[in-house]
Amino acid sequence: FEYHTDIVTKVIELKNKKLVSCSCDKSIIFYNKDNNEYKKEYSISTNGHNGPVIQTKDNEICYHENNNNSIICFFDLIERKIINKISNISISYYLYDSMLMIPNDLLVITGNNKISIISVNTYNLIRTIDVPDSSYIYSTILLNKNMLLTSDKNKKIKQWKIDGDNLQLIFKK
């Protein structure tokens, strides 16, 4: 399907099996599956290039909007409107794995020498962790409910212990 007019930065499948794509063309498109084919249901225009995107709740997504500053937007899928915005969060722009949900309804966002932790229930930034010896943190993966791995531009992999709403560095290579 060819609905975007610029680079598509992320496509995700929602829990309800619909698709969402975001792009540098300042749009996010939502798709329904019809006879084994995805068709555009609706789209929204944003104020900047978009990506990445993640589903944070059953009826909510979160996406990054870059408009000369980083804005994290929470969007209600039922009401089709923005619920909340958080400004100035460092994020690894365009990267697939720079947003990750971890236990306790927390959203981890990785960026330039930083990891930000946001509560998706209150839409508050809980903390930002400075990551020494790191450049852009490109990839984040949840190993299990207590462990997280990150990789960065400097070819370093770090293992983190999830401790409530905090991360503790336990290993780097």
* pLDDT above 70: residue 19: yes
**Distance between CA atoms of 110 and 115, rounded to whole angstroms?**
5
Task: Encode pLDDT of 25-52 as tens digits.
Answer: 999 999 998 888 899 999 999 998 888 8
Task: Encode pLDDT of 86-135 as tens digits.
Answer: 987 877 665 556 889 999 899 998 888 888 899 999 999 999 988 877 77
What pLDDT score was predicted for residue 94? Answer: 54
**Distance between CA atoms of 39 and 62, rounded to whole angstroms?**
22
* pLDDT above 70: residue 150: yes
Average pLDDT over residues 63-83: 91
What pLDDT score was predicted for residue 173? Answer: 64
Task: Encode pLDDT of 161-172 as tens digits.
Answer: 999 999 999 977
Average pLDDT over residues 74-82: 97
Q: For residues 118 and 152, which has the higher predicted lDDT (pLDDT)?
A: 118
- Torsion sign, CA atoms 69, 56, 51, 97: positive
Collect contacts of 156-164 with beta carbons under 8 A, ≥24 apart: 158/131, 158/134, 162/102, 162/103, 164/104
Average pLDDT over residues 13-35: 92
- Bridge-based pairing of strands 137-144 and 147-152 is antiparallel
pTM value? Answer: 0.90
* pLDDT above 70 as % of the chain: 95
